[in-house]
């Protein structure tokens, strides 16, 4: 399909630069299958919009302060590195600003005395960084890094201390992401308690979101786009409980596109979800047959992005374009710190 089919005009003032407070005070657009009216609701209404026996599936990845600023030893030019994907305990793939000034085996100096060696260069333009020393890389990042906010927020206002809390979900526990699973940013203890009281289940999986999620689609046709890969894990017990919930008539509702992509990667043709541990580069576009999920809670996405293609695959392109037009007209807040939508095909 032509990528331009997923384009739309978004006023700059619709891009949220800070989250609402409290988190569950965000608005939520409910989009159901068919051609019925859209429902303007709030995230706090979620327990009333789902049914007892439904299960929400969250991503428990934790965002690392994976944005580094520094320079090459022997050079004055500043470079920036955004870690993309862990390779092993001391190596990460990173997208590097001013990468042309970095040669293989160069030593890079970041803040706090953190140093790394530039190793292999990859086909997507990223570079393997080997972090020197004995301290865990997570400790080095806590000392030298900043939160890797989406470029459209960082460019508009920069990154500050408040983002350390704002850009982390209440479920975060597994270190490894360089972007937040932003649909879960709306959840609070109060909302979770209300969901529990309503008989709505909760399950966790892990998908370490990479910086590739922010990369634009440069191809003119979706068939020519190379999707980035990310590491994910679904435990055997989680898969078993999800299959049992669905067999009992409950719906599986993914909280965020990251949860959805991993569930679909782990599902067989019969819809059964299997344990999973490995990389996934699943690219979901219209025409895809969903096997594992019955709904999706997600924020509003960039024009012509892979995530706009994913929600169009779930609900239909025309339905989603109409929903986004409604959201823009009614002042919904877009992107990572913005409002939410509940998609029920």
> Given this model, what pLDDT does residue 229 score?
86
**Res 215 pLDDT > 80:** no
Is the residue at 209 inside a domain? yes
> Given this model, what pLDDT does residue 124 score?
79
**Res 216 pLDDT > 80:** no
DSSP single-letter state for residue 334: B
209 and 246 share one domain: yes
The domain boundary, picked from 115, 145, 175, lies at 145
Q: Which domain holds residue 75?
A: 67-145
**C-alpha span between 65 and 76 (Å, rounded):** 24
> Given this model, what pLDDT does residue 214 score?
65
For residue 107, list its beta bridge partners. Answer: 117
Is the residue at 228 inside a domain? yes
Is the residue at 274 inside a domain? yes
For residues 155 and 124, the model is more confident at 155
27 and 169 share one domain: yes
**Res 342 pLDDT > 80:** yes
Domain count, the chain: 2
For residues 86-114, average pLDDT: 92
Where residue 344 falls among pLDDT bands split at 50, 70, 90? very high
Where residue 213 falls among pLDDT bands split at 50, 70, 90? low
CATH code at position 257 = 3.40.1780.10
CATH code at position 85 = 2.40.10.240
191 and 110 share one domain: no
- For residue 89, the tally of other CB atoms under 10 A from its CB is 8
Under the phi-then-psi rule, with left for phi > 0, alpha for psi from -120 to 50, and beta for the rest, what region is 288?
Answer: beta
> Given this model, what pLDDT does residue 75 score?
81
59 and 86 share one domain: no
User: In Å, what is the CA distance from 87 to each residue of 97, 127, 131, 137, 215?
Assistant: 20, 11, 12, 12, 20
Say if CB 115 and CB 132 are below 8 A apart: yes
Which of 44-58, 146-160, 249-263 shows the lowest per-residue confidence on average (mean pLDDT)? 146-160
Give 181-218 as a 3 state SS string: CHHHHHCCHHHHHHHHHCCCEEEEEEECCCHHHHCCCC
97 and 214 share one domain: no
**C-alpha span between 161 and 168 (Å, rounded):** 12
Is the residue at 21 inside a domain? yes
Q: Which residues of 296-307 are buried (b: 16+ CB within 10 A; e: fewer)?
A: bbbbbbbbbbbb
135 and 170 share one domain: no
Mean pLDDT (the chain, rounded): 94
Q: What would the DSSP string read from start to end of 2-53?
A: BGGGG-----GGGB-SS--SSGGGSEEEEEESSSPPPEEEEGGGHHHHS-TT
**C-alpha span between 169 and 60 (Å, rounded):** 8
135 and 266 share one domain: no
DSSP single-letter state for residue 273: B
- Which residues have a Cβ under 8 Å from the Cβ of 124 and sit 6 or more positions away? 212, 226, 228
The domain boundary, picked from 90, 117, 145, lies at 145
Note the pTM of the prediction, 2 decimals.
Answer: 0.93
Secondary structure (3-state) at 157: helix
314 and 240 share one domain: yes
Is the residue at 183 inside a domain? yes
**Res 309 pLDDT > 70:** yes
Is the residue at 330 inside a domain? yes
Interval 276-302: pLDDT, tens: 999 999 999 999 999 999 999 999 999
197 and 219 share one domain: yes
Say if CB 159 and CB 149 are below 8 A apart: yes
For residues 7-18, average pLDDT: 95
For residues 198-210, average pLDDT: 96
Tokens describing residue 310: 């994913």
Is the residue at 247 inside a domain? yes
For residues 86-113, average pLDDT: 92
**Res 160 pLDDT > 70:** yes
Is the residue at 153 inside a domain? no
The domain boundary, picked from 110, 145, 180, lies at 145
For residues 198-203, average pLDDT: 98
Write down the residue that tokens 């569930």 correspond to: 263
- Which residues have a Cβ under 8 Å from the Cβ of 103 and sit 6 or more positions away? 118
Interval 28-68: pLDDT, tens: 999 999 999 999 999 999 999 999 999 999 999 999 999 99
For residues 134-146, average pLDDT: 94
12 and 93 share one domain: no
> Given this model, what pLDDT does residue 218 score?
85
264 and 226 share one domain: yes
């Amino acid at each position: 399909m032509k990528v331009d089919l997923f384009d739309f005009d978004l006023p700059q003032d619709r891009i949220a630069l800070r989250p609402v407070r409290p988190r569950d005070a965000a608005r939520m657009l409910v989009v159901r299958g068919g051609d019925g009216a859209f429902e303007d609701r709030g995230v706090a209404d979620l327990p009333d919009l789902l049914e007892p026996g439904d299960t929400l599936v969250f991503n428990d990845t934790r965002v690392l302060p994976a944005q580094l600023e520094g320079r090459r030893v022997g050079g004055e030019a500043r470079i920036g590195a955004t870690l993309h994907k862990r390779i092993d305990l001391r190596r990460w793939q990173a997208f590097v600003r001013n990468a042309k000034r970095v040669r293989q085996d160069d030593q890079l100096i970041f803040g706090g005395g953190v140093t790394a060696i530039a190793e292999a260069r990859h086909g997507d333009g990223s570079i393997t960084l080997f972090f020197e020393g004995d301290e865990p890389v997570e400790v080095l990042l806590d000392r030298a890094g900043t939160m890797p906010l989406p470029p459209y927020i960082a460019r508009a206002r920069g990154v500050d201390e408040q983002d350390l809390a704002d850009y982390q979900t209440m479920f975060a526990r597994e270190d490894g992401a360089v972007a937040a699973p932003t649909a879960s940013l709306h959840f609070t203890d109060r909302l979770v308690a209300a969901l529990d009281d309503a008989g709505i289940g909760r399950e966790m999986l892990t998908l370490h979101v990479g910086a590739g999620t922010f990369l634009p689609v440069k191809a003119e046709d979706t068939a020519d786009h190379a999707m980035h890969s990310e590491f994910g894990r679904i435990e055997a017990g989680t898969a078993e409980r999800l299959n049992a919930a669905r067999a009992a008539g409950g719906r599986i509702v993914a909280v965020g596109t990251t949860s959805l992509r991993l569930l679909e990667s782990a599902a067989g043709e019969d819809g059964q979800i299997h344990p999973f541990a490995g990389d996934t580069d699943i690219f979901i576009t219209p025409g895809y047959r969903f096997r594992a999920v019955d709904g999706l809670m997600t924020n509003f996405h960039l024009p012509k992005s892979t995530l706009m293609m994913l929600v169009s695959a779930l609900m239909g392109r025309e339905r989603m374009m109409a929903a986004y037009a409604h959201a823009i007209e009614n002042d919904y807040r877009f992107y990572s710190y913005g409002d939410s939508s509940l998609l029920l095909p």
